[in-house]
Amino acid sequence: MAAIYSLYIINKSGGLIFYKDYGSAGRMDTNDSLRVASLWHSMHAISQQLSPTVGCLGIELLEADTFDLHCFQSLTGGYLNPFIYLFIYKHTRYWFFLPSTGTKLFVVCEPGTQHMEGLLKVIYELYTDYVLKNPFYEMEMPIRCELFDINLSQAIQKDRVALLGR
Amino acid sequence: MAPVAPRSGDAIFASVEHVNAELFTLTYGAIVRQLLTDLEEVEEVNKQLDQMGYNIGVRLIDEFLAKSNVSRCVDFKETADAIAKIGFKMFLGVGASVTNWDADGTCCSIVLDDNPLVDFVELPDTCQGLYYCNILSGVVRGALEMVSMKTEVTWVRDMLRGDDAFELQVKLLKQVPEEYPYKDDE
Amino acid sequence: MIGVGKIKQYANVLETPLSKGKQEVSLSAFAFLFSELVQYNQTQVDNIAELERRLEDAGYSVGARILELLCHRDKGNRRETRLLGILSFVHSTVWKVLFGKVADSLEKGTEHEDEYMISEKELLVNRFISIPKDMGTFNCGAFVAGIVRGVLDSAGFPAVVTAHFVPMEGQQRPRTTILIKFAEEVLRREARLG
């Protein structure tokens, strides 16, 4: 049983810089994952532009006939605000984490999966350690860092064990 | 998700891994010496140190956000406070205070309580024009730029140059809203 | 008075009391600085061998200074004069001050009389660094090799010092070995001293 299907990291221009599958469900080929990444990026941007009032930080809840789209974020917006979003699309959930520096993280997981905020925060910290402190990583470019992969797998494994344990 | 109160710089510094400040100080010294050899002109070294700081700033801001839980800086004033009270403490273990605000709140000074970069350092006659700690001004500028604040950061007092404190002036030039690759009709 | 720093001012650096070496900064601050040191040096070289040499040079100047500092502060202005003494000084004292722990091991090379190895499962400077595939066996530990060479050379033990990844059985990540090859004169002197 896999709680987490896949993980995306999107740079501030909407380019997919990291993608990883964790289960058989929701698996995508490279083209599809790139497309999904840029779609979510654009949708979030458009939702801000559509707002008649200033200071809109993007989608919170969107209801459609075949899916609900939720997002939540820490209460107030601002310049230094990491947002966490939750989208529910049919049987899959998309969790977003949006540090205000423009990088976006999102995890696709099984409905009902709990504590995704916590996991996303852990992943964000791994990103600040094993990606941003690596002199061979170029900003905004695809992430190819062995240590990030190793530590990420461990974090997700741990999360999975914790889930099964409940 | 309920908002989480920002953590204090002391609490963060206490919870992270540390290294001996001397390793940090001597490594920084090695960088400055390399630049002096490579670039020769002190003015160029000042620029390069600032650039290197900037490069660090744009990377380091994510860790600041991840670890500090700083969730809302309404204005430049709060931002300056967050840098001084949380930023300097969590990375360098030193406190700093914000002073000398101008009337419209776009320019202030950050005064450091201590400065681990300058242990063992004295500027030789050939390097009198050197802003030895220019990497720090670059870090502040780079980090702020990533959260949409364009700033100019300069040293107004520098103990290596005989002043009585280390004082950074941070001047807000422009606050740009979150950027997306497309523009509205302009 | 507002805005006056809390740091005490001295007329010159020689009057400043020597720090006890107990101050700390965050590992992150060091990691970002080290990463930038590597990035800057990458812009100054055409090949990996040059990058290694430049990192080693940067380390050398740290090593020369740390020797001076430690001999003065911790050893009452005395320094080691014998080969094993200086090696264990590097492996324990220097390592402890710089990296917060004694190095994992100090061994004598099995094939060559003049070779010694200091090994570390995870070198502090490499903590967050993944070497891209196209850089082959490059190891940022070259900086640490430079520190070791700086200490040894300044103490009168000239040596060639290099850093290598060594795969470990049952471990996902290789360890780093700092290989020290002493100059002939050092071994001759050592033999004379008996």
Conformation bin of residue C163: beta by default, left when phi > 0, alpha when psi is -120 to 50: beta
DSSP 3-state assignment of B139?
helix
CA pair distance B61, A127, nearest whole angstrom: 12
Whether residue A83 contacts residue B73, with contact meaning beta carbons closer than 8 Å, is answered with no
CA pair distance B25, A35, nearest whole angstrom: 46
Domain A4-165 is of which CATH architecture? Answer: 2-Layer Sandwich (3.30)
What residues form DSSP beta bridges with B166? B112
Whether residue A109 contacts residue A116, with contact meaning beta carbons closer than 8 Å, is answered with yes
Predicted pLDDT of residue A64: 46
Q: What's the length of chain A?
A: 166
pLDDT in tens, B104-137: 999 999 999 999 999 888 898 889 999 999 999 9
DSSP state of B81: H
**Which chain B residues in 72-101 lie under 8 Å from chain C, judged by CB atoms?**
90-93, 97, 99-100
Mean pLDDT of the region C73-91: 88
Would residue B2 count as lying in a domain? no
Run of H or E including C19: none
Whether residue A116 contacts residue A95, with contact meaning beta carbons closer than 8 Å, is answered with yes
Flag if B31 and C57 touch (Cβ within 8 Å): no
Flag if C29 and B24 touch (Cβ within 8 Å): yes
The alpha carbon dihedral of C158, C160, C164, C170 has a sign of negative
Decide if pLDDT at A23 tops 90. no
Flag if A133 and C28 touch (Cβ within 8 Å): yes
Instruction: Give ∠ CA B99-B100-B106 in degrees, rounded to 5.
Output: 100
Which pair of structure tokens corresponds to residue C43?
């812009």
Flag if B17 and C65 touch (Cβ within 8 Å): no
Q: Does C10 touch chain B (CB under 8 A)?
A: no
C23 contacts on B by Cβ (under 8 Å): 20-22, 93, 116
> What distance in Å separates residue A137's CA from the closest CA in chain C?
9
Amino acid, res. A55: G
Instruction: Give ∠ CA A92-A98-A101 in degrees, rounded to 5.
Output: 155
- B186: confidence class by pLDDT, cuts 50, 70, 90: very low
Which residue in C45, C130, C131, C135 has the most chain A C-beta atoms within 10 A of its own C-beta, making it the best mutation to test that interface? C130
> What distance in Å separates residue B22's CA from the closest CA in chain A?
20
CA pair distance B12, C26, nearest whole angstrom: 10
Q: Tokens 């009168």 appear where?
A: C156
Which residue in A134, A138, A151, A152 has the most chain C C-beta atoms within 10 A of its own C-beta, making it the best mutation to test that interface? A134
Closest by alpha carbon to B108, among B76, B134, B149, B140?
B76
CA pair distance C178, C92, nearest whole angstrom: 14
pLDDT in tens, B148-170: 889 999 999 999 998 999 999 99
Predicted pLDDT of residue B184: 44
Would residue B134 count as lying in a domain? yes
Which residue in A126, A129, A132, A133 has the most chain C C-beta atoms within 10 A of its own C-beta, making it the best mutation to test that interface? A133
> What distance in Å separates residue B25's CA from the closest CA in chain C?
9
Q: Does B71 touch chain A (CB under 8 A)?
A: yes
Flag if B31 and C12 touch (Cβ within 8 Å): no
A102 contacts on B by Cβ (under 8 Å): 146, 178-179
DSSP 3-state assignment of A115?
coil
CA pair distance B16, C14, nearest whole angstrom: 33
Higher pLDDT, residue A162 or C32: C32
Angle of helix B42-68 relative to helix C27-42, nearest 10 degrees? 140
Other CB atoms within 10 A of residue A46 CB: 13
Q: Tokens 């020797």 appear where?
A: C67
Would residue B10 count as lying in a domain? no
Q: Where are the alpha helices (DSSP H) in chain A?
A: 30-50, 116-126, 146-165
Percent of the residues in chain C that have a pLDDT greater than 90, as a whole number: 77
Q: What's the number of CA atoms in the CB half-sphere (13 Å) around residue A28?
A: 16
Of C37, C132, C173, the CB nearest to A144: C132
Helix-, strand-, coil-residue percentages of chain B, each rounded to 5: 50, 15, 35
Percent of the residues in chain B that have a pLDDT greater than 90, as a whole number: 70
Would residue B183 count as lying in a domain? no
Flag if A76 and B60 touch (Cβ within 8 Å): no
Closest by alpha carbon to A104, among A134, A84, A119?
A84
Provide the residue ranges of all domains of chain C, joining segments of one domain with +: 27-193
Flag if A102 and B3 touch (Cβ within 8 Å): no
Report the number of distinct structural domains present in chain B.
1
Conformation bin of residue B80: beta by default, left when phi > 0, alpha when psi is -120 to 50: alpha
CA pair distance A84, A44, nearest whole angstrom: 12
Closest by alpha carbon to B21, among B75, B76, B91, B101?
B91
Q: What is the CA radius of gyration of chain A?
A: 16
| CATH number of the domain within which B74 lies | 3.30.1380.20
Query: How high is the ipTM of this complex?
Result: 0.93
Predicted pLDDT of residue B135: 97
pLDDT in tens, C101-132: 999 999 999 889 899 999 999 999 999 999 99
Would residue B1 count as lying in a domain? no
The boundaries of the domain holding residue B50 are 43-175
B31 contacts on C by Cβ (under 8 Å): 33, 36-37, 40, 58
- C72: confidence class by pLDDT, cuts 50, 70, 90: confident
Backbone φ and ψ of A107, nearest 5°: -115, 135
Q: Which fold would CATH assign to domain C27-193? A: Muramoyl-pentapeptide Carboxypeptidase; domain 2 (3.30.1380)
**Which chain B residues in 79-98 lie under 8 Å from chain A, judged by CB atoms?**
79, 82
Predicted pLDDT of residue A10: 79
Which pair of structure tokens corresponds to residue C178?
């700092």
Mean pLDDT of the region A84-108: 59
B59 contacts on A by Cβ (under 8 Å): 132-133, 139
- Using CB atoms within 10 A of its CB, is residue A130 exposed (0-12), middle (13-18) or buried (19+)? buried
DSSP state of C18: P
- C75: confidence class by pLDDT, cuts 50, 70, 90: confident
Q: What is the pTM of this model?
A: 0.88
Flag if C130 and A135 touch (Cβ within 8 Å): no
Flag if B79 and A79 touch (Cβ within 8 Å): yes
Amino acid, res. C119: S
Q: Does A129 touch chain C (CB under 8 A)?
A: yes
Which pair of structure tokens corresponds to residue B31?
């960088």
Shortest CA distance from A132: residue in chain C = C32
Percent of the residues in chain A that have a pLDDT greater than 70, as a whole number: 54
Predicted pLDDT of residue B4: 61
DSSP 3-state assignment of A5?
strand
Which residue in A53, A79, A104, A128 has the most chain B C-beta atoms within 10 A of its own C-beta, making it the best mutation to test that interface? A79
Which residue in A13, A72, A80, A139 has the most chain B C-beta atoms within 10 A of its own C-beta, making it the best mutation to test that interface? A80
- C79: confidence class by pLDDT, cuts 50, 70, 90: confident
Other CB atoms within 10 A of residue B57 CB: 24
DSSP state of B117: G
